[in-house]
Chains A and B, each alone.
Chain A
């Protein structure tokens, strides 16, 4: 039904996590080293690494080696694909009809509550 590619599915799964969104937001201000990214995050370095790996695999982030330090950089192509979908008119209707479904489901909850 949705005209989403596998890549887009991966991107949205990656974006569904608040930590990974925070990382991307940091990277939108410019490349950063792993330790810079990890610094404000309340988790271990290996956990941060795992998040970075997910972002890299789904095409939202790229590694960049400068000297002995690995830097992370936003992959704007992957992000643009996700954004195009978000701003797409069809996607707007999909979301609206999801929301309508949630609205209608409240009727059943009310009925269930009375029974």
Chain B
């Protein structure tokens, strides 16, 4: 067994949308609205297994590119301020192996007629499972991922 290791990182991503905070909050909370929350391409096999939107409730998702063992993302909601903020803890497993545990905060800030979304993920990456070397599944998986991604939503 390899030596346990942890790498900490904080990721902040912001976007401004032409929509109200309430509208965007709904897209983060109602299961039927959450199809976009896959890894960015509809051809990945993405499933929302559970979406229990309340403090202490869980969101469970799985997603996999063709030829890959797939990821399982389990979240527990720890703070919800309607239309303004959602905080959840998140565990990601790849092929059953836990690769990261995180605290994720989503903020919805009104900006005139628009709204800014700020995603902050404070992550502990475990045992190198989320490093490129740890995640690399062989080139077949890589091409499946790249092909899906490039053929997909990214512009």
Q: Which residues of A contact B (CB under 8 A)?
A: 12, 15-16, 18, 21, 24-25, 28, 79-80, 82-84, 86-87, 89-90, 92-104, 107-108
* A83 x B136 contact (CB < 8 A): yes
* B132 x A95 contact (CB < 8 A): no
Residue among B15, B41, B130, B145 making CB contact with A100, cutoff 8 Å: B15
* A97 x B119 contact (CB < 8 A): yes
C-beta contact mask, B114-155 vs A, less than 8 Å → 1, else 0?
Answer: 000101010100000010100110011011011101110111
- Classify the secondary structure of B's interface with A: mixed
- Across-interface contacts of A92 in B (CB, < 8 A): 39-40
Residue on A nearest B130 in the bound complex, by CB? A89
* A96 x B139 contact (CB < 8 A): no
* B153 x A99 contact (CB < 8 A): yes
The answer to the question of B19 belonging to the interface, with a C-beta cut-off of 8 Å to chain A, is yes
Residue among A80, A96, A104 making CB contact with B39, cutoff 8 Å: A96
If A90-B11, A107-B23 touch, whether A99 touches B150 (CB-CB below 8 Å) is: no
Residue among A86, A93, A94, A103 making CB contact with B35, cutoff 8 Å: A103
With A and B bound together, what is the CA distance between A97 and B13 in angstroms?
A: 9
* A21 x B150 contact (CB < 8 A): yes
The answer to the question of B37 belonging to the interface, with a C-beta cut-off of 8 Å to chain A, is yes
- Across-interface contacts of A16 in B (CB, < 8 A): 150
Q: Which residues of B contact A (CB under 8 A)?
A: 9, 11, 13, 15, 17-19, 23-24, 27, 33, 35-41, 100, 117, 119, 121, 123, 130, 132, 135-136, 139-140, 142-143, 145-147, 149-151, 153-155
Residue among A15, A28, A80, A99 making CB contact with B36, cutoff 8 Å: A99
* B15 x A101 contact (CB < 8 A): yes
With A and B bound together, what is the CA distance between A21 and B139 in angstroms?
A: 13
* B119 x A93 contact (CB < 8 A): yes
- Across-interface contacts of A86 in B (CB, < 8 A): 145-146, 149
With A and B bound together, what is the CA distance between A28 and B24 in angstroms?
A: 42
The 10 closest A-B pairs by CB, nearest first: A95-B40, A99-B36, A103-B36, A84-B132, A93-B13, A28-B139, A97-B15, A104-B19, A90-B11, A100-B36
With A and B bound together, what is the CA distance between A93 and B143 in angstroms?
A: 21
If A103-B33, A103-B35 touch, whether A15 touches B146 (CB-CB below 8 Å) is: yes
With A and B bound together, what is the CA distance between A95 and B15 in angstroms?
A: 11
Residue in B41, B119, B130, B146 with the greatest tally of chain A CB atoms within 10 Å = B146
- Across-interface contacts of A15 in B (CB, < 8 A): 146, 150
